Amino acid sequence: MDTLLARKLANHPQEPASTLLAFDESQSRSLSLSVRATALVFEDPVSRRLLEQIERIAPSDATVLITGETGTGKELVARHIHALSKRGKNIFGALNCAALSESLIESELFGHEKGSFTGASTSKNGWFETAGKGSLFLDEVGDLPLAMQAKLLRVLQEREVVKVGSRQPVPVDVRIIAATNVNLEEAVAASHFRADLYYRFNVATIQLSPLRERPGDILPLARHFLKIYGDRLGYDEIKLLPATELTLLNYDWPGNIRELENAVHRALLVCPGNRLRPEDFKLTGVRVLDQVPSVSTTSLESALQRLCEQAPPKLFEIIEETVIRTAFEFCEENQVQTARLLDISRNVLRHKLGFYGMLPSSQKKLSSVLSDVEA
């Protein structure tokens, strides 16, 4: 049932599981990276175009710049580019440039010699050497200090590094994949980012759209996180109610995939049963979209055209009964949810259900009484 709603509202067919890219948590401790989004899917048309772009860029050795809001999955895209490249079997190194001071960034990137600074008890290779023959992901590159930008530019130009405390250049062979949520063009205009370094990074650019602009990915991601955290908590058969799916599709998701993941986890912890309700997510009142994603009516119009050509008796009743019955079964015979889905009052729904024989005799009598009372 939930898959059917996803198809209707997201306006595209269901894709195989291979369209989901999940972050391998077992490797997280080996990365100098604070992972924001842990999964990415390519089901929305916007995401499909992104996947096509990734597959075109990955085989080359070009420097890649990934831009997008926090939580959109930039680190996952970087790892996917690496995996699809000829360097895929070699090391994928990662460094969050915003998490370290300028002195530590230089040591982490280029390495240092023993005794080059206080605490340097041994020599250490930097990420440019460690990721040799592989790829190096520089996250939040827009936050690099200007002095560090100049040193990084030289490395990209000369393809060699000089360790802190050394004068001997060391050749390096590594592909650079950079990411930022900063508008680098604006940063260049404001003299916060070097123009020459920007041009070095801007060989191949991938712009990740926020989750609100690719609604077809919301429900597949939600189900993915539901399965992961449901298994961890020992829950069985946890599902999203149809009204909950509508709520998730209507929400703006300012925190993108990471916010969705945390929201699913939190909802599982507070949900009293095995069906997640809209109120379990506590999303009301914060950047909610005004409209539900548009639904394609092409197939429906074709079916109606064929019915009109056949001209059966009581055509309108046939169509109405089919709509009511389908929605009622879809909502697992929950009248409140069915009425909400069809955007009609519960009183009208009860009348229609009784008219088309979808209620037990006892409920028909009750429906008749309630209709008379509410009339």
Mean pLDDT per 10-residue section of the chain, whose length is 375 residues = 35 44 51 54 90 93 93 92 93 87 79 68 78 90 89 88 79 92 91 93 92 92 90 85 89 92 92 87 59 55 80 86 88 84 84 85 48 46
Query: Does an H or E element contain 12, and which?
Result: none
Contact, 222 vs 5, CB < 8 A? no
Gap between the terminal Cα atoms of the chain: 33
Matching residue, tokens 């062979």? 173
Question: 352 — alpha (psi -120 to 50), left (phi > 0) or beta?
Answer: alpha
Backbone angles phi, psi at 43, to 5 degrees: -105, -35
- In the block, residue with structure tokens 């950047």: 287
Q: How far is CA 249 from CA 163, 202, 212, 221, 373, in A?
A: 50, 34, 8, 11, 36
Give the pLDDT score at 17. 35
CB–CB of 56/80 below 8 Å? no
Give the domains, in start order, of the chain with CATH numbers: 45-211 (3.40.50.300), 214-280 (1.10.8.60), 298-374 (1.10.10.60)
Task: Return d(Cα 79, Cα 61) in angstroms, integer.
Answer: 14
Q: According to the model, what pLDDT value does residue 162 have? A: 81
Per DSSP, which regions of the chain are E strands?
Answer: 20-22, 39-41, 64-67, 92-96, 111-112, 124-125, 135-139, 160-162, 169-171, 175-180, 204-207, 239-240, 275-276
Strands 135-139 and 175-180: parallel
DSSP state of 208: P
Crossing angle of the two packed helices 2-10 and 242-250, in degrees rounded to 10: 30
Distance separating alpha carbons of residues 178 and 201, to the nearest angstrom: 7
